[in-house]
Amino acid sequence: MPLIEVRDLSRVYDLDSGRVTALGGVSLDIEAGELVAVMGPSGSGKSTFMNLVGCLDRPTGGHYRLDGAAVETLSGDGLAELRNRKLGFVFQQFNLLPRVDACANVELPMVYAGLDGKTRRERALNALARVGLAERAHHRPMQLSGGQQQRVAIARALVNQPRLLLADEPTGALDSRTALEILALFQDLNREGVTVVLVTHDAEVARHARRVVRFRDGHVIADIRQEPADARAALAVHDSAAPMPEAAE
Amino acid sequence: MSLIEAIRSALSAIGANALRSALTMLGIIIGVAAVIAMVAIGSGARERVDSQIKSLGANLAIIQAGNVTQGGVRLGAGASSTLTDEDARAVAAEVEDVVASASVITTRAQAVYAGTNWSTTITATDLDFFAAREWGLAEGRLFEPEELRRGEIVAIIGQTVAKNLFGDSDPLGQMFRIRNVPFKVIGVMAGKGQSALGQDQDDVIFVPLDTGRRRIVGRNYARDRSVQTIMVKFASEAAINPGIEQTRALLRQRHRLMEDQEDDFIVRNLTEIANTATAAASTLSWLLAAVAGVSLLVGGIGIMNIMLVSVTERTREIGLRLAVGARQRDVLSQFLIEATTLATIGGAVGIALGIGAATAIARFAGWPFVISPQTILIAVGVSGLIGVFFGFYPARQAARLDPIEALRRE
């Protein structure tokens, strides 16, 4: 059984100016353990697709099963629980809470999972160690670089051991070297068994995925498998060409 | 999330905008302060009236010798000696519901004992006085009817006089002098404390009415039966006003006043005087209640306003919380708790301020004030309820946000 099973999924918006079909009957399977890039220009339907897959929105037609659960039949609370237990989100703008430290940011999904404070702290520190930020656990977002903030966000996405990591333009706000680091981290996590879906308009980012799904005008126009570029190797090349101090710990 | 964690997180959100939060709380602070001051002063005034009545004796009326006009000159209250102890007896006998009717003559004099002396109030009166004032003895005895009739030179002294004249020794049976007349102490009154006006009521020497009139006040009163005041105690509060009317009619008749002549005496209802203080305090209480009501309403609206601003500012945070698995009710309760915490802190500050204001008003106006734990609990409860009531709409707005829209918002 695929992790994500999408059949004839559509999303139509009723606007004052008429009906707009953002997604028009998409069928797609994603297996556990894949690293998929969802590509397309703006307005292609890739964001709508991601919102539906991320259980943030409901389809107007078709079916979506996430890890066996029929998502379109779930209530608002059911969707919230699914987002909490099975999904981890990474955003372009990191979306960290500015008032609390990295550790508390990572704890947030566990707060809504109803875990006690001690377990949360323990698991949050583990997740931060996994993204290489054990030393920065008690820094506030303002005291961290962009790449470090995105690592905190990834740690937050991972902390409830989700079935799927959904990353929406995760490197969009980062310089090219930091972007490579984040992509390398996704590749590492994928090798450890985490299923990753990267939504991007950037072909350079998509090169690092084993599978690329292209959207245009609300439809899938291509679904290709490729040999992914190795972000770690690219980092090594990058650093030997222009030596730079390590941006991240 | 446990409630304590939720409150801690609310406190950090409130602290992040400390000035704005403080300004928002102002309405609640003023409202709660007004409520606290109102209740404190209101119950303080009530307590004072109660204690006044208790220290005076309940249901008392006082008749003073009053104004007389001599050749067109009005001499004012107390100028004449129109009242007599026969009037007092007549009131006791003929007016309904009279429990006691005491004749009183008061003067100041120096009391001398051994090497010491003490200036004090001499009250010449009869046994009805002690009944009217509900005042008992600490030791010794009251006057015998025979002592009153014959005007014997015996005295009952107050606690202050006992202490200042006799020190540690037992005053009973001792002889002391007033205006060179030797008096024998036959009793010591129980302590009564300060009067409503701050006078020491224990600084007094009681002597039989006739003794005082002849031996201490002197010639002026020695020729007649006159007294300065008559103190009348009625059986109940309801009996006071009809009793006063009957007393007036009786005294006018006894003094042979014509229809067109003024009263030559003044009758005062002491309970009524005490109640006037309550009325003034209750006017102030109503004023404060109005201030409190308006402030609490404005404060509540202020909280609603600032919470709406906060929801708008933190739209992305709300979107993120929804994305990581917060349910609508989690977001709702987060903002409700924040509004309630804000209001409750305002309430706590208001309580402190209200106690301060009550203390100041009480000192300025000379009123006592009473702050009970219930008042404080109610104030905290009310401010919390205001937080919940006015926080609900903004919190619901937050909870109903669409996570996609919220995450996209800049």
Flag whether pLDDT at A241 surpasses 60. yes
Interchain contact, B325 vs A51, CB within 8 Å: no
Considering the domain boundaries, does residue A57 fall inside one? yes
Considering the domain boundaries, does residue A248 fall inside one? no
Flag whether pLDDT at B78 surpasses 70. no
| Total beta-carbon pairs less than 8 A apart between chain A and chain B | 61
Interchain contact, B320 vs A95, CB within 8 Å: yes
ipTM for the predicted complex = 0.90
Considering the domain boundaries, does residue A164 fall inside one? yes
Cβ contacts of A113 on chain B, cutoff 8 Å? 325
Q: Do B104 and B206 contact (CB within 8 A), yes or no? A: no
- The C-alpha angle B342, B7, A88, rounded to 5 degrees, equals 120
Cβ contacts of B326 on chain A, cutoff 8 Å? 80, 112
Least confidently predicted of A134-138, B306-310, B327-331, B365-369: B365-369
Measured between alpha carbons, how far is B161 from B178 in angstroms, rounded to an integer? Answer: 13
Residue of B nearest to A157 (CA): B324
Tokens of B113: 């004992």
Measured between alpha carbons, how far is B365 from B16 in angstroms, rounded to an integer? Answer: 42
pLDDT more than 70, % of chain B: 91
Least confidently predicted of A183-197, B204-218, B219-233, B296-310: B219-233
Cβ contacts of B404 on chain A, cutoff 8 Å? 51, 56-57
Residue of A nearest to B16 (CA): A99
Q: Do B138 and B191 contact (CB within 8 A), yes or no? A: yes
Interchain contact, B404 vs A84, CB within 8 Å: no
Interchain contact, B323 vs A77, CB within 8 Å: no
**CATH label of the domain that carries residue A167:** 3.40.50.300
Domain ranges of chain B: 3-52+275-408, 100-235
Residues A26-45 have a mean pLDDT of 92
Which of B13, B328, B404 lies at the smallest CB-CB distance from A56? B404
Cβ contacts of A173 on chain B, cutoff 8 Å? none
Query: In this predicted structure, what is the pLDDT of residue B223?
Result: 58
Interchain contact, A76 vs B327, CB within 8 Å: yes
Considering the domain boundaries, does residue A208 fall inside one? yes
Considering the domain boundaries, does residue A131 fall inside one? yes
- Number of neighbours of residue A164 by Cβ within 10 angstroms: 23
H-type helices in B57-190, by residue range? 85-94, 127-133, 145-150, 159-166
Query: In this predicted structure, what is the pLDDT of residue B360?
Result: 87
Angstroms from A98 CA to nearest CA on chain B: 9
Task: Give the total number of structural domains in chain A.
Answer: 1
Flag whether pLDDT at A152 surpasses 60. yes
Tokens of B24: 């928002």
Least confidently predicted of A140-154, A198-212, B81-95, B341-355: B81-95
Query: In this predicted structure, what is the pLDDT of residue A245?
Result: 56
Cβ contacts of A93 on chain B, cutoff 8 Å? 316
Residues A171-200 have a mean pLDDT of 91
Considering the domain boundaries, does residue A249 fall inside one? no
Interchain contact, B404 vs A51, CB within 8 Å: yes
For residue range B110-149, list pLDDT tens digits in order.
Answer: 999 988 899 999 999 999 999 888 888 999 999 999 998 8
More confident residue, A150 or B264: A150
Q: Which domain, by its residues, includes A182?
A: 4-241
What pLDDT band is residue A246 in, cutting at 50, 70 and 90?
Answer: low
